[in-house]
Structure 1
């Protein structure tokens, strides 16, 4: 027979199992023996389950199917701690802050640079004294390349083969049309030997208007001849042109034929190549080595303006601070604008040039009747009056241009 001492001894022999027996069941009568036995077994089973949970906690592992441990009589188990939530690292926040500051600094630099360069641009009065034509519906600007040698040293004049002629003349005259509505922007070359009436000086080559009265008389002469009011004036000299090209590391151009022109200081082979400032200036100035003379030169000038804008708009120029600064400030050197010409006007001109470089604009020449028109000023260029008038009407009324109008390909309508 098992005694209470035997139960105590068995309990002491094992740490994993604890058995408790209610000895009061022995005093129950015979009729209650079955119920007492069942109660005793239930107590033993419950005690065994508690021992198993105690053992599991001692081993450190969870009990399968059991809920979270609660403090109680079986060892005083405590609730499990809540898992910690990870927070962003300080280093990550610092990186984001630094990147944001750099982006803001870069944007501020991109905005400041053109304003700083604009402050260095020279200004000249171009408002005619006489009554001007009515304001057009689009925007029309005069872009002039002059042979001004102002600011060039003797060494620079020698390197650029500009000579040392006194005074100044126009090497290129281009009307820039920027539509306000639909249609494409256009660059329209005005041959500098065009024979037109010059206010107060009879008829002469249009280049004479600039030589006699500077930008002011040139603007008045063109406005009268075209019937178009000009919204702005932009001029760049020899030194400024070469500096812009060199600031871009040269410009890629396809030379249409071999050009050996000592007057322009160039000896270029036919084919696509990169021209530096000196060769670029000679390329757009060359006249004697081009069989089409002034008409061919005007075409090369428009071609080169488009090439400059194509190179200037590349990420290597725009996104690199040093390149961006160098280009904008080189462009401002030797640049002269009208007193009423704003930076936004110049921006429109640049956008038109960029459209030409992307094939989204038109490159034209004022309609010509003859390139050997004999006058008191010598051999001159005579406009095709009817076609020129039709072109200027389209521009003045800002009618959409999608294709070159008749006669604007530079080919004379007569021999």
Structure 2
């Protein structure tokens, strides 16, 4: 029960209790008049002026004073100046006139003045109280509007700050990452062209081409993400990113790992772009972690819908890391892992796969970011070591 409804009930009960003060003076007509006045009070919110007119006879007879005053408060809360003036005049007239009306001629001058003073108090008091209540309600409404406006201004300012920060990040990404990746792409392209023209080592030529292709792809994705940051369009990231389920096999083939990929796309309904993007990034980050922490491990990637067809399961499992096999003397090894020494011995060459993986920087936010991706879609992600060695990353994403 609200405070307002409780106060209204108390007022109505007080008006009814006023009958106890005149219980001995009741006759048929005053009883009917007082009954009408009390029964009309619940209508004062919807029909304030009508309720006032229905309660005026009770104050005219001198039996009930509270019902007309309560009705006058409701009239004044309406903030209609003509109705307030009419209601106040009617209440003043009813309070000033004696009952029966013929007694007015027998009243002395002092009694008339006293009656007029009492009528003024009885009519102006409820009117002022009603205006005060209406003003308070209006102030409360304006304060609520002001609070809402301030909240919207704070939200807009926060959005503007986010836009400025996104633009700053876009500039930093473009000016730093694009510079270094661009140099890598140009130099790898030049190396590939030089090896091809000189009839050099095919492995070096293919490696240079792979580096160039990945650098170009990184620049394309960087360009797309910079455009998304500058446009402040979060939905554009899904359209800009080349991260569909159909590219997972290509991702596995270019990972420089021993990967077995089993990708089964749901056939009943198309997968949401954000789910495809999350699945791609989970596989991509997991393969990156294998390169850094478990070089030489075999990896199994499985992406398939759940039996109920309501979620997509993404699982990446790798075996324990294995040392790179020794290469025959004088033969080129991918990544330059081994090089023959005098007497047929082999020596690890700086820049081999294991050493290069150990030099890759890591921020420690990979798995945390994957969990956030899954949770934002209403899914979950778990990552734990396997009992037989290795590591497993498993995510369930709702379709």
TM bucket, shorter chain: under 0.3
| Higher RCO (CA 8 Å, separation ≥ 6 residues) | 1
TM-score, normalised via structure 1 length: 0.25
TM-score, normalised via structure 2 length: 0.26
| Structure number having the greater helix percentage | 2
**Structure of larger gyration radius:** 1
